Amino acid sequence: MSCRWYRAPELLFGSRQYTGAIDMWAVGCIFAELMLRVPFVAGNSDMNQLDLIFHALGTPTESDWPGMTKLPDYVKFERTYPKTDLRSLFTGTGADALELLKGMLEYDPKKRLTARQALASQYFRNQPLPTLPQDLPKPSANPIVESESETTRQQVDKKRKVDQAFAEIVDNGDETQTAWKSKLEPVAKKLEFVRSPAA
């Protein structure tokens, strides 16, 4: 997992073993981010990332996570945080979603939910059920979405013409002000279409 914000604590402590549990931690962080609408724990260094994780979830002990202190880059943190009830962080979230999140953000990789276990969560059986893949909207082959109005297409075309006209001016950038004025007059005529028609 390359982005620190989604990196499992065992990697931050130097684990050289990459398992599916590492991916599940990342999925848990993304799931939390979807509910919060901001990154769950966004550290600016590995130590800061661990500190933020511990602040959010509580500082783990050897009984919470056997083998933690034997990881290659393990550092004992002076400051410890109490265990946090996730309901206090995710106030508008249902019990099933919190249970799923808790399972994906388990400190001990051996106790962390697998993808199969996560998919079996009651959260995915709650109403409304997810849309079936065949019922999802299909992407349009047209770069401008087919449902867009003609007005939107005209606006895109106008923007393109404005950009082209501006590029013509910029290409000859070191001319005098008088020369610029003579350049601008034909461009202004090209841009005449930008004015909205009189009502």
At 49-99, the pLDDT tens digits run: 999 999 999 999 999 999 999 999 999 999 999 999 999 999 989 999 999
Segment among 5-14, 24-33, 127-136 with least mean pLDDT: 127-136
pLDDT for the residue 57? 96
Quick one: CA torsion of 17, 114, 49, 68, rounded to 10 degrees? -50
Same-domain check for residues 181 and 85: no
Q: pLDDT tens digit string along 92-130? A: 899 999 999 999 999 999 999 999 999 999 999 988 887
Same-domain check for residues 23 and 87: yes
pTM here is 0.66
Q: How confident is the model at residue 137 (pLDDT cuts 50, 70, 90)?
A: confident
Token reading at 69 = 């202190």
The tally of domains found in the chain comes to 2
Same-domain check for residues 11 and 99: yes
Domain of 40, CATH number, reads 1.10.510.10
Same-domain check for residues 44 and 121: yes
Q: Are 100 and 123 in contact (CB under 8 A)?
A: yes
Same-domain check for residues 122 and 171: no
Q: How confident is the model at residue 199 (pLDDT cuts 50, 70, 90)?
A: very low
Same-domain check for residues 18 and 105: yes
On whether residue 43 sits in a domain, the answer given is yes
Same-domain check for residues 14 and 92: yes
Range of the domain at 180: 150-194
Same-domain check for residues 121 and 165: no
On whether residue 35 sits in a domain, the answer given is yes
Identify the CA nearest to 61 among candidates 9, 14, 12, 24.
9
On whether residue 101 sits in a domain, the answer given is yes
On whether residue 137 sits in a domain, the answer given is no
- Grouping H, G, I as helix, E, B as strand and the rest as coil, residue 194 is helix
Fill in the amino acid letter for 73. D
On whether residue 70 sits in a domain, the answer given is yes
On whether residue 52 sits in a domain, the answer given is yes
Token reading at 58 = 């509580």
Same-domain check for residues 49 and 93: yes
Exposed e or buried b per residue across 22-41, where buried means at least 16 C-beta atoms within 10 angstroms of its C-beta:
bbbbbbbbebbbebeeeebb
Distance between CA atoms of 171 and 63, rounded to whole angstroms? 68
Same-domain check for residues 161 and 117: no
